[in-house]
Each structure stands twice: as structure tokens, then as C-alpha cells.
Amino acid sequence: MAIRRGRGVAAINYPTGMNLGGDPTQALVHSTPTGNFMVTLSSVDLGQGMKQIMAQICAETIGVPTDRVVVDTADTDTGPHCMGTFASRGTHRAGNAVIQAAREARQVMLEVAAEELEVNASDLETDGQGNILVKGAPQRSISIFDVALAAHFKRGRSISGRGMFLIPRSYPEKETGAMKPSTCYAHACTVAEVEVDDETGEVTVLTVKNVFEIGRALNPKMVEQQLVGGSWMGISHALYETTEPYYPNRDHGGTDFNQYLMPGPGDLAQTEIIVLERPSADGPYGAKGPGEMCANPQIPAVANAVFDAVGVRIDTLPITPERILRALKAQASN
Amino acid sequence: MELRKSYFADQRKDDLHEIGQPRPRSDSPGHVTGKTAYFADRNFPGMLHLKMVRSPHHHARIRSIDTSEAEKHPGVVKILTAQDVPHNVYTILILIQIGPEDETVLADGKVRWKGEAVVAVLAETERAAQEAAAKVKIDYEVLPAVFDMEEALKPGAPIVNEYHGRNYYLYDSGECRKVRFGDVEAGFAGADHMLEQTYQSSPIEHAPTETTGCIVVPEGNDRFTCYTNTQAMFFTLDNASIVLQMPGNKLHFVGGTVGGGFGGKVDVIVEPIAILGAKLTGRPVSFIYSREEEMQISSPRAAEKVVIKDGVMKDGRIVARKVTGYTDAGAYSRHSPYGAQKGAGHYPGPYTIPNVWIDTYCVYTNRTPSSAMRGFGVTIGDFALEVQMDKLARLIGMDPLEFRFINAYRDGDMKAHRQPTEGAALIECMQEASRAANWPVAEKFMAMSSYAKGA
């Protein structure tokens, strides 16, 4: 009887969006009188940070700092249609809609600035700090604050834009299954290292090394939080979680967090996250959707590591101590 | 976290102002100081609490419902049964023309899973609603139930859901979604080795911090405001509009900040009945799942069974792959027909295989209806595929990581569902994993790229 060490690898891809049902999201952007920008959506922030990401996307596109943008999500009286926050589509679909709306608003903003500066709009650029400058002559400039005031009180212009992102629905071909279920794919490869106690069947995940390719990390800190959380969820799925321990028997489902097991702070694996960026052709600034993908590769990586450690295959999730002990017993009797 | 900028640098602009910056989240101070308002933080004068009377049986005919004792319970204001729901039989995907309507808001004549909602009780307090719910008398005739997907698919199995008339979802392609690419039998015939394995999972719970719920307030102008933590505002509004036979302009949904969802809040379950309660009483109604309801009643991830048969050559090339996937939808469709179909589009994973044959089934059983969850339709498939890859590599005596390089898809490769691969990056992820984990692979694999072969 001993504690045995093993490691396993898994590699996956993951689709962004869900155009087997059609996949639209809309956005509206408008300026306040003092040159702040309001993004109006009916998309939902689940805690992943959609509001922050949409603010950064809008700010980048208009050419202002992120703190000049306010995002209003999820009011059906004011927000235009969004299919919803699921299918790894939030950043990708809503982000694209926000870019389109912000571009339109930016164009009006530059037209008003051009009138104020008596130049052509095409000769103007933003400095990202809240100013609009004449290209090649940056001493000729106007603040976005003053442009917005002029638009609202002097020139009767609405600095606003409409954005729409729609992937038309794909209907699978009946006989061949030819279909276009999504637009771009995120990728991942995980190597997990485990210890298995062959006396108790207990698995400890020592390290997970996760490499994720996500198009673009629009906000690297928030990407990190999502990828670390997802990695934890993958390990939890692999080793702990089940609402029906004796599926298909329906007994013994948990009713609270005392009965529904998940790894606690003492069970956390040492987690390493590496991010690669291959921009997607249709993503907002190249972003793909990492939200779901990041919880998937740990599951088979851990399963493969368990085999590497003790030489038994557990092909049924979750990989519980009981299943490992039964498999070891069966192996010993063969 | 490390950003490895050396990969794909030629495809990227790295000189942006706001994108790529690790800005702090604007809403995090509110979250960590407890000041962020979630839907349940609202309280309205005269608010009623809704509790469900739920089926104790997996499958039963309802002979009678007697609410007379419950109605007399102090604090009870209104009791709703199936007859009170304008369009009681619905299905959420009907918005994208995926039918048939197969689920009842409140059970009508039959229950098909343990925990199914039968009677809704509205009372002044949660406790009164709970106590009154316990006084509702329902006479059931228990029917044979089926929990196992294989059992459900056998001839003569009890029919779970009459609206389908069979224990599987009928796609336009027949009893399953099919993908056919190349000639899988010819591929197997030419293979050096074959391996067929079966993988299974049981349901898991989303376990969000904030449980599912909503509060509905009559606005006095024939409109109703629904404060909700749904993941999909208009999806829920439009479905509620159908269930209640109310024009959408009578409904105003407010949400936006949710304490975790993971796919568990895309089923339209709490909102329609709470709006109906508010409409019929003229008072605000709160319907919030207890933790026990969240664990036992809300849709879990589906249990799945995946059978994979592969033909592989001694040099590591997979030449044929046949996948049969089964998704346990439970008693009702919810999003499961979509999930099973998404699975068909995902196999055979990020690998280029010339001959592929896929069938995915959405199966009905007398279990809690399953629905969307993070990785919907794909997660268990990835588990099965990647354990299978490990087994195949060991079968031919090859390093598991090198085996994946041989089969990894690259730009331009045709996938089984007949879309050319674009933006592939699997090879680079594996190269970086090789370095990070100190798991060396042959130099030729480290020299590969996801760009088109020969490019």
C-alpha cells in the first residue's frame, strides 16, 4: 500500500456561440452632455465581469479611458435584444455589437469635433486620454468633454450609435450533419499531476498546468480569474461532484453544501495558467470565448493521471475513492 | 498567469490603449463590501411568497387535488393549479421553432419526475406558504418509471412524456442527430488497431452562490416588473409572454447582476408563475429557490453516456472514429435536444480524422429535467475523447502528448461537420504545455504550427 504519483494530459477545443439557434445581440451607445459614454445592453453579467469588458471594448473603440464608460445591462425597457449570457458568447457577441455601436458614435463625435475645429473629420484622431487631435498637428485639439457639450447644446447632434451582431442560424443537413455550429474555437491543453492513495482511493491533485488559447485577453486579470476558477471547477467535476452518486438510481442526492461535495481550500491544486492569443477573425479585438472551455481539460487530464498513477481506468465521472478502490480490487483479482 | 506573446505575434496588434489592460473591475468593490444589489435585496410592501407543492413520485397520475385545507391556512392569499395557467404546456426552445411543447408550468393530470411542481401557494410569509403547501392533498396513482437511458430506449419501456410519444427526441434526421464524413467502415477495415470504449457521467449541480429566483411587482398600469437573475432577459420575457398569453409590452424585466449562473439560470421556471401570481393577486410576489430546491429541483448537467470506437494506425494516425452519444434529458426537453446536437457538431474533437460517424441521442427518463451547464453538450464528450486518446496512445506504445500532435487539426483541415478549420491553436497549446510541464516531445512536434500544412 502506497501513495502513487501520476500525470496525465488532455487537449481540447471549444466553440464560441450557438448559431444552431441563431445568435443575435444588440447594443446601443450614447454620450452624456459631458462626454461620458453609456452602453445599453440586455446582456447579463453573471459575475464573470461582462460590464467591465464591455466598458473596455467601448472605450477602446471610441478612444476614451475606460472609466469614462458606464455599462447598463439587463433592463428590457431600455436594453436592446440579447440572446443571453451562455454558450461562451457574452464577450464575443455583445463585444462585437458594442464595437459597431461605438464606431457609429465615434463617427458622430469626430464630425462634431471637425465642425468645432474647422477641419475634416477624417483628419482627426483620439489620444485615448479624452482628447481629439488633428493628425500631424496635435496642438490643434479639443477635449471630448467640449465636443459633447457642443453636440448637445450648440449643434443638436446625438453622439450615439447602434450595434448588432448576428450569426444567421445554421440548419444541420439531415444526412451528413453538415453544420456551422459556431464561429471560432478556443483551445486548451492541461497537464495534471496527482497522487493516489491506493489504500483509500483518495486522489490529490498536486499541480495543474493549464495552457489556454483564447483569441485575445481583453483584460488579463479578469481572464486569469475566470481561468483559475474554471480550472478549479474542472477538478471538482472530475473528482467530487455528483447530484446522483448512484446514477441512474436517484437516491442520495445532496441538498446543501455539506452533502454536495466540492474541493475546499485545503484541496486546491497548485495552478499554473499560461495564455496564448491567436486572434479570431470575427472576434471583438480578436477575442474568443474562454468561459466554458476553461473547465473542461482538467477532467480527462486528471482521469489520465489517475491511470498513470495506479493503472486503473475510471471511465465514469466522478472519479471517487470508491470507484478507484473497486477498480484496484478488480485489477488485483485478475 | 503568464501571457506568452511569442505565439501568433504576427496576427495581433499589441498597441491598444484599453484592450489588454488589466483594469480593475468597476463592480468588484460593491461585491466585496456587500453593497451590490441583487434581485432578492429588494423588498416591497405587501409582498407575497410563493412555494410549490412538488411531486413525491417519479411518475404518477394525479387523481385529484384538494386545496381546501390549505386555503384556510392563516396567511394564504391564493392557490394556483394547472387550470390557472393560460398556456400551461410549453417548451423554452419554441422561440427558435424547436418543439413540441412538452412541459407543464404546473402539472396537469400527471407528474413525470420527483420534484415536479403541481400546486403554487401564495401567502403573506414564507412560513405560511410552506405550511399551507404541506396541507395540499394530492391523490396519486403511481406509475412505472424509467431512470436508465438504455432501459428507456427499449421497446415496451414506460413512456415518460406523451408529448413526444417516445423516449427520445425526434430530430429531422430521425432518432438522433447524425454526422457522416468519409467511410467509417472502410476506415476501420484498414486500421492496424481498433478500440471501443464506453464512458459515463452522472448529473452535477451548477452550485451558484445565489439561488434561482425572481420578484414580480405589479406597476399599477397593467404592466409587471420582474426582478430576476435569469441569464437571458428576453428569452425569459418572451417565454413568459407565451405561457401567460400576455403581450410582451406588459412585461418589464430587470436583472443584470447575478451571483453565478453556469447555465443554471436559462430555464424559464420561476418567472412565469410568479408573474401570474402577481397578476391574480395584484400584489408583489417573491419566488426564490431554497438551497435544497436549487440542489434537487433546478436542472442539473445531464448524465451522458458516450461510446467511442476508433481505428488507429501503428504510426499514430486515427483513421476512423465512430461516436454514439446519449444525453439524459430527464422528463422534459428544456435545452437538452440542443445540447445533444451541439455534441454532434463537436465530435471528433480537435483532431483531423478522415472517416467519422456520429449519432447523438436526447433520451427522456423520469429524472429531474437536465439542461444547460458550463460546457453544455461538450464537457463529457471531451472527457470521453481525451481519455480515449490516452488509451489509444498507450495501445500503440506512443507518448500520449506526441500522439495528439500527430492528429491535431490545423488551419484548412476539414472537420467532420464539414467546416474547414480556422484559427486553430491546439498545437501551440500543447507545445507550451510540453515546456511548462517538462514533458518533452520530439523536436519535429515542437517545430509544427497550426497554420495550414505546407504553409
pLDDT at residue B65, as a whole number: 98
Residues B92, B88: Cα–Cα separation, whole Å: 12
Contacts with B5 from chain A: Cβ below 8 Å: 277
Tens digits of per-residue pLDDT, B144-186?
Answer: 999 999 999 999 999 999 999 999 999 999 999 999 999 999 9
User: What pLDDT does A21 receive?
Assistant: 77
Instruction: Tell me which residues of chain A, numbers 260 to 319, contact chain B at a CB-CB cutoff of 8 Å.
Output: 260, 262, 272-281, 285-286, 288, 291-293, 295-297, 299-301, 303-304, 307, 313, 315-318
- Encode pLDDT of A47-93 as tens digits: 999 999 999 999 999 999 999 999 999 899 999 999 999 999 999 99
Find how far residue B445's CA is from the centre of its chain. Answer: 37
| pTM confidence score | 0.97
What's the mean per-residue pLDDT of chain B? 97
Q: What's the pLDDT band for A108 if we cut at 50, 70, 90?
A: very high
Average pLDDT of the segment spanning A188-204: 98
Task: Report helix, strand or coil for B154.
Answer: coil
Nine cell digits for residue A182: 459556431
Q: Please tell me what DSSP assigns to residue B108.
A: -
Rounded distance between C-alpha atoms, residue B313 and residue B318, angstroms? 6
Residue of B375, B387, B450 with shortest CB distance to A300 = B387
At B22 the pLDDT is 95
Q: Are A185 and B423 in contact (CB under 8 A)?
A: yes
pLDDT at residue A182, rounded to an integer: 86
Chain A residue at shortest CA distance from B417: A178
How confident is the model at residue B454, as a pLDDT? Answer: 64
Sort out which chain A residues have CB atoms less than 8 A from B147's CB and list them.
Answer: 248-250
pLDDT digits (tens, 9 = 90+) for B366-406: 999 999 999 999 999 999 999 999 999 999 999 999 999 99
How does DSSP assign B239-281, residue by residue? HHHHHHT--GGGEEEE--B-S--TTTT-S--HHHHHHHHHHHH
Residue A166 at interface with chain B, using a CB cutoff of 8 Å: no
Distance CA A45, CA A90 (A): 9
Q: What is the DSSP string of A50-67?
A: HHHHHHHHHHHHHTS-GG
Q: How far apart are CA B375 and CA A293, in angstroms?
A: 6
β B48-54/B117-123 pair status = antiparallel
Say how far apart CA A155 and CA A255 lie, in whole Å.
62
Which residues on chain B are in Cβ contact (under 8 Å) with A254?
205, 295
Question: Helix or strand or coil: residue B363?
Answer: strand
pLDDT band at B60 (very low <50, low <70, confident <90, very high): very high
Mutation target to probe the A interface, by most A beta carbons within 10 A, among B15, B23, B97, B114 is: B23
Grid coordinates representing B306? 458516450
Helices B379-395 and B400-407, interaxial angle, to 10°? 110
Cα A72 → chain centroid:
19
How confident is residue B455, by pLDDT bands cut at 50, 70 and 90?
A: low
The sheet that has A270-276: what strands, in order across it?
A: A3-15, A185-197, A203-213, A270-276, B2-3
Question: What pLDDT was estimated at residue B299?
Answer: 97
Q: Which residues of B touch A189 (CB under 8 A)?
A: 426, 429-430, 432-433
Q: Which residues from chain A sit within 8 angstroms of residue B231, using beta carbons?
A: 44, 46, 84-86
Q: What is the mean pLDDT of residues A173-197?
A: 95
Sequence-ordered strand ranges (E) for A174-230: 185-197, 203-213
User: What is residue A18's predicted lDDT score, i.e. its pLDDT?
Assistant: 83
Please judge whether A10 and B8 are an interchain contact, meaning their C-beta atoms are less than 8 angstroms apart. Answer: no
Strand pairing report for B76-80 and B117-123: antiparallel
Residue A40, C-alpha cell as written in the block: 445599453
Q: Between residues 238 and 277 of chain B, which touch chain A (CB distance below 8 Å)?
A: 251-263, 265-266
Q: Are the beta carbons of A31 and A37 closer than 8 angstroms?
A: yes
Query: Which of B330, B218, B222 is CA-nearest to residue B275?
Result: B218
The cell numbers describing A226, all together, are: 475566470
Q: Provide the 10 A C-beta neighbour count for residue A156.
A: 8
**Does residue B415 carry a pLDDT above 60?**
yes
Question: Which residues 287-346 in chain B show a CB within 8 A of chain A?
Answer: 291-292, 295-296, 300, 303, 328, 338, 341-342, 344-346
- DSSP character for B205? -
Residue closest to A73 by CA, chosen among A100, A106, A97: A97
Give the integer Cα–Cα distance in Å for B256 and B232.
9
Does residue B13 have a pLDDT over 90?
no
Question: Which pLDDT belongs to residue B268?
Answer: 96
Span B102-130, pLDDT tens digits: 999 999 999 999 999 999 999 999 999 99
Peptide bond just before B86 cis, omega within 30 deg: no
Mean pLDDT of B411-418: 96
Residue A129 pLDDT exceeds 90: yes
Percent of chain A with pLDDT over 90: 92
pLDDT at site A74: 85
**Dmax of chain A from CA atoms?**
89
Three-state DSSP at A120 gives: coil
> What is the rounded CA–CA span in Å between residue B354 and residue B311?
11
3-state helix, strand, coil in chain A (%, to 5): 35, 25, 40
Put simply, the answer to whether B23 touches A218 (Cβ < 8 Å) is: no
* Identity of the amino acid at A105: A
**pLDDT tens string A16-54:** 988 877 889 999 999 999 999 999 999 999 999 999 999
CB count in 10 Å sphere of residue B314: 11
A292 labelled catalytic: yes
Angle between helices A298-310 and B379-395 (to 10 degrees): 40
ipTM reported for the complex, 2 dp: 0.97
